[in-house]
Amino acid sequence: MKTTKTIICTCTALALAISASVHATRNDNCSGTPTNPQGGDSRDLESALQHATNTGRPLRLSGTYRLSRPVMVFIRNDLNIDASSATFIATRSLDGDMISIDANTRLGTTCGPRQVVDIEWDGGNFDMSDARVSTVVPIASLTPSANQGVSSTADALSVRGTPNSGSTLSSVSNVNISNATFNGTDSNTAPYFEAGGDSAIFVNGVLSADINNNTFAGIRDAAIYLSTDSDGVNGDNYRASGNTIRRAYDGITVKRGADNIVITGNTLNDVVVGISTKNVIDGVIHSNVRIRNNTITTTSRGMLIEHGNNVDIENNTINNLGAANGGSNSPSNASARGIYDGIALEGTSNVRITGNTIAGVTSTSRQNNTTTWGIVRGAFENRRETTEFSQRDNTFRRLDRNNTTR
């Protein structure tokens, strides 16, 4: 299981901790037109992105940016970035997020009163393979020692919409990230634990987000990580569609009780956990979750729903369940207890599972040496039971059990 990513006092504490180094390079120009640097380093990219949100004017980026320190951008006005002709490369010196876009109470009003803004990021090629690995990735013992960093966050593109812990206000109305490519490994066959960095896209504490038509390969943690803020207050209305994910620990995961989730039309291959909602804060529930028309091939757990309520899982396909994945011949997810699960429900209520196909591995030797279950119901940590469950019109092939309880 993953150690919880540190997002408490999300932006204020982070800004104060490095204020001395950032102050000298931060662009506080609140007028004019942002300029495309056409390539450069962390300072060049940071200055251009900061100028874009200072003014609220669109910015088109091109060229190659080699990042040796985190690029930190503080939200002031709308941010509209076309990065379709840009490449972002993490160097071996990078220990932290490649690009973080953060709300901040103190630094967010430099160019006028606090705004509730929209953020749109289109395109870009992110190479995370040489980035230092964060301290909170799942199964950290598998991280090669030469790759280990000291930061608790090392995502490629992160957006944190709530200024500080305890705030009831988000500074971001909507985040739209689309058509970007994220790669975390040097080869196209390396398992997730050889990847650099952490998650690829991390969004928390915003009022809504759309993560569409992105491509991910070789991701150390989650390809798409969506969350409320650290208090479980801000961060709902998340949608992820049309994304392609290969070789990741988590494909698409939602945490800390985010509500109104739609995950549809995504393709995932060789992921330890495909699509999930995970309980991190005691007592919070993920309500109104829709998971439809996704295809997941080769996984330890196709779907995991923890602490869900009013959940629809419809017309998804899970193939090759029981095949080796994540660089391991046995299930990599500790919670699976040596069993490959198609759809696992833990502490979830009012859930409907309809029209899905779950198929086990075709290899006779793997069938004889693995245990595969289709739909699995159980309690979350032996406390909250799964109740009000219904299933119909599902298809099961080559499994040890189709429907069972744990």
- Give the chain's domains with CATH numbers: 12-405 (2.160.20)
Q: Which pair of tokens denotes residue 371?
A: 């245990």
Query: Could you give the CA distance from residue 80 to residue 118 in angstroms, rounded to a whole number?
Result: 8
DSSP state letter for 337: T
Q: What are phi and psi of 327, to 5 degrees?
A: 70, 20
Query: Could you give the CA distance from residue 227 to residue 275 in angstroms, rounded to a whole number?
Result: 14
Q: Are residues 261 and 241 in contact, defined by beta-carbon separation less than 8 angstroms?
A: no
Q: How confident is the model at residue 15 (pLDDT cuts 50, 70, 90)?
A: very low
pLDDT at 245 over 70: yes
Q: Which pair of tokens denotes residue 403?
A: 């429907």
**What is the signed CA dihedral for 378, 205, 225, 302, rounded to 10 degrees?**
30
pLDDT at 405 over 90: no
Q: Which residues contact 335 (CB under 8 A, 6 or more apart)?
A: 1, 301, 304, 344
Q: What is the pLDDT of residue 7?
A: 47
Q: What is the pLDDT of residue 13?
A: 40
**Residues in a beta bridge with 201:** 157, 224
Q: How confident is the model at residue 193 (pLDDT cuts 50, 70, 90)?
A: very high
Query: Could you give the CA distance from residue 402 to residue 400 in angstroms, rounded to a whole number?
Result: 7
Name which of 27-36, 251-260, 333-342 the model is least confident about.
333-342
pTM of the model: 0.93
Query: Could you give the CA distance from residue 331 to residue 249 in angstroms, rounded to a whole number?
Result: 12
Name which of 55-64, 243-252, 383-392 the model is least confident about.
383-392
DSSP 113-137: S---EEEEEE--EEE-TTSPBPTT-
249 versus 382: the higher-pLDDT residue is 249
Q: How confident is the model at residue 168 (pLDDT cuts 50, 70, 90)?
A: low
Taking only the tens place, the pLDDT of each residue in 207-219 is 999 999 999 999 9
pLDDT at 11 over 80: no
pLDDT at 281 over 60: yes
Q: Stretch 170-174: mean pLDDT, rounded?
A: 93
